[in-house]
């Protein structure tokens, strides 16, 4: 057996490490709090490296850790080349990267190029500078309409609700121009037609790459290039579906955006191994491959499974399409069920169909909007299905993204008092969306029952309140329990390493419509039963199952990995 240092050394120069990596997303402010101020920090992450190593992941993706007023959970960045002082220092960051690398774990940083925060020095300068100045030209400023410019330039709305334009006060104290923000008003959009913006981001990519960051997750990758020069169309016009299909939308997924990523790729390839990137691009499925091209970012998130119902046909169609798409570009596919923007999948799968997603179900119902009562979630069923889906995902060719806490089987926190909520979606959109705080509640590390305890997250409470029932999910309780969700994830990730070979998958016929069966090279069979009737497994050794296999039969809502009998 190679030692961990040897493993790290041999994998360091493997340019393909990302292709089938299991990537664990850390939301730093909610992971582990070493300083005891209620907010997770970099030293907290370093303290959990042994846990991450034992879990068996290949890489961590860190959501933003940059200085920020937290108007959008850190996706409002004040300074791209620094660490939030509440989270630590650059030295702490270096120490964390060193510890992760020593454990054989790669580091992916989140990069937020669509917008800065309104506290970024560029924006401060823009506000202090006159209309038409170079400082304003780093952002998207326009004159307002109406006799005195008192109306916004058009009726576009922000993703988080409300208008997409904010009026500024000019340096002389008079009401002035408007700036554009796709997200919160604290997140002014950058002008990617300005070469200075390009140069600055190249410097940021080099800054973190030089510090040992192995890859980047690119926030809102499909939004950077905008057509704002022409007459601005109305909101109604930009909702036309055909605009999203052919790159004609003024805001989203324009063809020119790829010129940016071609520049980035040159920087990535200056390093050995080349730095990697994955695009967060909510685009028409036919256009996603452009982001994943080897001349661009190399990989793009596919959120199809995350948005799908627990259904064999739906899963099969999604898997087939995405593997074909990845093969066409030479990328590998990505798979994900949970992240910091959506209701945790152990909860989604325990809710009546269509009620657990942001925005609600087709009949208008939404569990979160209706109070997020845990009693309305069939948590046992949700977790059973989540484990089945995850075991299926971990057997697919491509990289698998896991979100902190899912390895504990953690449920979404639906009930958070209004005064504790932090997500701008809640404030800008109250009544239409509750927001994403429920999946961002700090992790329970220990089952400490004391009132006011943060379940081992830190010494002094947690920045989002943890419910009492978190005790039952604590990592310390699960660590030594062979039957726990944590033990299941560890086993699955270890086996995945052992079994993984070429990126191929062969579908096998199945007599039951609710059953998916495929085989990976080396005789690794994967059977997923989406129905409720037990099914026969192929002959061989059951390596792992998400629910107990009895008499050779896989129960309903379960997945098994089987090594075929020779």
Q: Does 306 bind ligand GLC (CB under 6 A)?
A: no
Which CB sits closer to ligand GLC, 72 or 406? 72
Which CB sits closer to ligand GLC, 33 or 423? 423
Q: Does 66 bind ligand GLC (CB under 6 A)?
A: no
Closest by Cα among 379, 434, 386, 428 to 407? 386
Nearest distance, CB of residue 234 and ligand GLC, angstroms = 24
The torsion angles phi and psi of 198, rounded to 5 degrees, stand at -55, -50
The torsion angles phi and psi of 399, rounded to 5 degrees, stand at -100, 145
Which CB sits closer to ligand GLC, 280 or 557? 280
**Residues between 373 and 402 with contacts to ligand GLC, criterion CB under 6 A:** none
Which CB sits closer to ligand GLC, 114 or 390? 114
The torsion angles phi and psi of 95, rounded to 5 degrees, stand at -65, -40
Measured CA to CA, the distance from residue 406 to residue 411 in angstroms comes to 8
Distance of CA 194 to the CA centre of its chain: 28
Helices (H), 48-89: 49-55
Measured CA to CA, the distance from residue 27 to residue 21 in angstroms comes to 19
Which CB sits closer to ligand GLC, 220 or 441? 220
Positive or negative, the CA dihedral 407, 409, 413, 414 is: positive
**Residues between 25 and 64 with contacts to ligand GLC, criterion CB under 6 A:** none
What residues have CB less than 8 Å from 326, skipping those under 6 apart? 292, 332, 333, 398
Measured CA to CA, the distance from residue 247 to residue 237 in angstroms comes to 14
Nearest distance, CB of residue 405 and ligand GLC, angstroms = 16
Q: What does the per-residue mask of binding to ligand GLC show for 524-563, with x meaning CB under 6 A?
A: ----------------------------------------
Which CB sits closer to ligand GLC, 280 or 433? 280
Determine which residue in the list 23, 55, 57, 112 makes contact with ligand GLC, applying CB under 6 A: 112
Nearest distance, CB of residue 515 and ligand GLC, angstroms = 34
Determine which residue in the list 127, 220, 386, 516 makes contact with ligand GLC, applying CB under 6 A: 220
Q: Determine whether 153 is exposed, middle or buried from the number of CB atoms within 10 Å of its CB (0-12, 13-18, 19+).
A: buried
Contact call for residues 345 and 337 (beta carbons, < 8 A) = yes
Measured CA to CA, the distance from residue 102 to residue 106 in angstroms comes to 10
Q: Does 183 bind ligand GLC (CB under 6 A)?
A: yes
Q: Tell me whether residue 219 is one of the annotated catalytic residues.
A: yes
Determine which residue in the list 33, 41, 58, 72 makes contact with ligand GLC, applying CB under 6 A: 72
Q: Helices (H) and strands (E) in the chain — how many of each?
A: 16, 18
Structure tokens at 477: 């309780």
Which CB sits closer to ligand GLC, 75 or 518? 75
Structure tokens at 8: 């790290």
Determine which residue in the list 17, 18, 66, 75 makes contact with ligand GLC, applying CB under 6 A: 75
Catalytic pick from 102, 270, 363, 536?
A: 270
Q: Tell me whether residue 270 is one of the annotated catalytic residues.
A: yes
Helices (H), 182-311: 195-210, 235-238, 241-245, 257-268, 304-307
Applying CB under 6 A, the site for ligand GLC has a residue count of: 9
Q: What does the per-residue mask of binding to ligand GLC show for 254-293, with x meaning CB under 6 A?
A: --------------------------x-------------
Catalytic pick from 214, 219, 253, 557?
A: 219
Closest-by-Cβ residue to ligand GLC is: 75
Nearest distance, CB of residue 75 and ligand GLC, angstroms = 3
Measured CA to CA, the distance from residue 542 to residue 560 in angstroms comes to 7
Determine which residue in the list 341, 406, 407, 412 makes contact with ligand GLC, applying CB under 6 A: 341
- Which chain residues interact with ligand GLC by CB under 6 A? 72, 75, 112, 183, 219-220, 280, 340-341
Catalytic residues: 219, 270
């Amino acid at each position: 057996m190679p030692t961990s240092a040897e493993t790290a050394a041999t994998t360091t120069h493997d340019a393909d490490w990302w292709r089938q990596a299991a990537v664990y997303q850390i939301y730093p402010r909610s992971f582990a709090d070493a300083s005891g101020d209620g907010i997770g920090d970099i030293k907290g992450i370093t303290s959990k490296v042994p846990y991450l190593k034992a879990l068996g992941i290949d890489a961590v993706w860190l959501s933003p850790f940059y200085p920020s007023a937290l108007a959008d959970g850190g996706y409002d960045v004040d300074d791209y080349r620094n660490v939030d002082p509440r989270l630590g220092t650059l030295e702490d960051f270096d120490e964390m990267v060193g510890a992760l690398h020593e454990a054989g774990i790669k580091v992916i940083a989140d990069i937020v190029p669509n917008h800065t925060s309104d506290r970024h020095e560029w924006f401060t300068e823009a506000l202090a500078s006159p209309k038409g100045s170079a400082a304003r030209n780093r952002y998207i400023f326009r004159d307002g309409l109406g006799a005195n410019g008192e109306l916004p330039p058009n009726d576009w709305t922000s993703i988080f609700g409300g208008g997409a334009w904010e009026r500024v006060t000019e340096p002389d104290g008079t009401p002035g121009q408007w700036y554009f923000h796709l997200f919160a008003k604290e997140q002014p959009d950058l002008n990617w037609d300005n070469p200075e913006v390009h140069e600055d981001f190249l410097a940021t990519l080099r800054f973190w790459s030089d510090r040992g960051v192995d890859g980047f997750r690119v926030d809102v990758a499909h939004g950077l290039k905008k057509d704002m020069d022409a007459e601005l169309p109305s909101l109604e016009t930009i909702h036309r579906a055909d605009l999203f299909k052919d790159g004609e939308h003024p805001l989203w997924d324009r063809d020119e955006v790829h010129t940016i990523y071609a520049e980035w790729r040159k920087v990535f390839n200056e390093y050995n191994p080349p730095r990697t990137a994955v695009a967060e691009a909510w685009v028409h499925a036919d256009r996603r491959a452009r982001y994943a091209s080897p001349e661009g970012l190399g990989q793009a998130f596919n959120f199809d499974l995350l948005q799908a119902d627990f259904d064999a046909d739906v899963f099969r169609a999604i898997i087939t399409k995405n593997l074909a798409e990845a093969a066409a570009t030479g990328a590998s596919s990505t798979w994900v069920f949970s992240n910091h923007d959506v209701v945790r999948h152990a909860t989604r799968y325990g809710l009546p169909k269509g009620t657990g997603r942001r925005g609600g179900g087709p009949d208008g119902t939404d569990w979160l909007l209706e109070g997020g009562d845990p009693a309305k979630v069939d948590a046992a069923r949700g977790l059973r299905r989540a484990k089945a889906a995850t075991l299926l995902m971990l057997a697919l060719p491509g990289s698998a993204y896991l979100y902190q806490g899912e390895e504990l089987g953690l449920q979404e926190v639906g009930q958070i008092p209004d005064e504790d909520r932090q997500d701008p979606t809640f404030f800008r959109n109250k009544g239409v969306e509750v927001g994403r705080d429920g999946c961002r509640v700090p992790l329970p590390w220990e089952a400490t029952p004391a009132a006011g305890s943060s379940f081992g997250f830190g010494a002094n409470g947690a920045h989002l309140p943890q419910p009492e029932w978190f005790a039952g999910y604590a990592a310390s309780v699960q660590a030594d329990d062979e039957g726990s969700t944590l033990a299941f994830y560890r086993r699955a990730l270890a086996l995945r390493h052992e079994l993984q070979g070429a990126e191929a998958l062969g579908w096998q016929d199945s007599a039951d419509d609710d059953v998916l069966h495929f085989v990976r090279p080396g005789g690794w069979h994967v059977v997923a039963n989406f129905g409720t009737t037990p099914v026969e497994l192929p002959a061989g050794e059951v390596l792992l199952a998400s629910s107990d296999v009895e008499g050779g039969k896989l129960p309903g809502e379960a997945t098994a990995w089987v090594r075929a009998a020779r």
